[in-house]
Amino acid sequence: MVTLEMVDAGVKIATGMLVSGLCFLIYLKRYQSLDSRKEAEITRRRQLFEDVAAQVGRVHYVYQKYLSLATEFTRYGQHWPRSRRDELAKVGEELAEVFHELTKAESTLLLLGEKRLERSLRIYGARIVNLRRQIYAEKQTLTGEEIHLVDEVKKDIAQLKEGFFDALSLRYMPKKVMS
């Protein structure tokens, strides 16, 4: 026979189960919402890092064109054809224009709170500017010391670029994914 106490106990158990199930659903909903927001933030941050990499890539592409012409200029000096000098001047102007991309990349890094990456990118850009000041189309000849300096600056720029992208790739990959 079912007594009133048994019915009361059953109602209390059922009510407890309903309340705990409801609390669990609320907790689950909140956790999923926080998790999806966090995932969206990580995705957005990664997208911004990809944009920075693309901007630096564009600058480096133009720098490589400039570097190939500058290297050719160091080999030929005064005997270098006028048409090639004009091409060096044109690529030099293109390099100056594309530096806008580098400034945007630096700004994005600062926005993300990546001061160390921004500083390394600024140093990278300063080295390229230094090279551009040493070799330009209107210059008639280069001394042996200047040619040696150009080689040093080229190596320095290559190391800076590699170091920057190493650090960027570490920041790009969340720690959970890397392990």
Within a domain: 12:
no
Assigned token pair, 111: 């926005």
* Structural domain span for residue 61: 44-172
For the full predicted model, state whether its pTM sits above 0.75: no
Q: For residue 113, tell me if it sits in a domain.
A: yes
Is residue 15 situated within a structural domain? no
Domain contains 34: no
**What does pLDDT average to over the chain?**
86
Contact present, 165 and 53 (Cβ < 8 Å): yes
Q: Where are the alpha helices (DSSP H) in the chain?
A: 4-76, 82-111, 115-134, 144-172, 175-178
Please indicate, yes or no, if residue 162 is contained in any of the structural domains.
yes
pLDDT at 141: 66
Torsion of CA 52, 161, 110, 125, to 10 degrees: -100
Decide if pLDDT at 24 tops 80.
Answer: yes
More confident residue, 101 or 141: 101
- The structural domain count of the chain equals 1
The answer, yes or no, to whether residue 116 has pLDDT greater than 90, is: yes
**49-53 LR contacts (CB < 8 Å, sep 24+):** 49/112, 49/168, 49/171, 49/172, 50/172, 51/105, 51/108, 52/105, 52/108, 52/109, 52/168, 53/165, 53/168
- Percent of all residues in the chain with a pLDDT value above 70, rounded to a whole number: 92
Let me know: does 88 contact 66? Beta carbons within 8 Å.
yes
Number of neighbours of residue 97 by Cβ within 10 angstroms = 10
CB 77 within 8 A of CB 142: yes
- Check residue 166 and give its pLDDT: 93
Residue 147 lies in a domain: yes
Confidence (pLDDT) at 108: 95
The confidence score (pLDDT) of residue 175 equals: 63
Q: pLDDT band at 145, cuts 50/70/90?
A: confident
Q: Tell me whether residue 52 is in a domain.
A: yes
Question: CA 154, CA 17: separation in Å to the nearest integer?
Answer: 71
49 within a domain of the structure (yes/no): yes
pLDDT at 167: 92
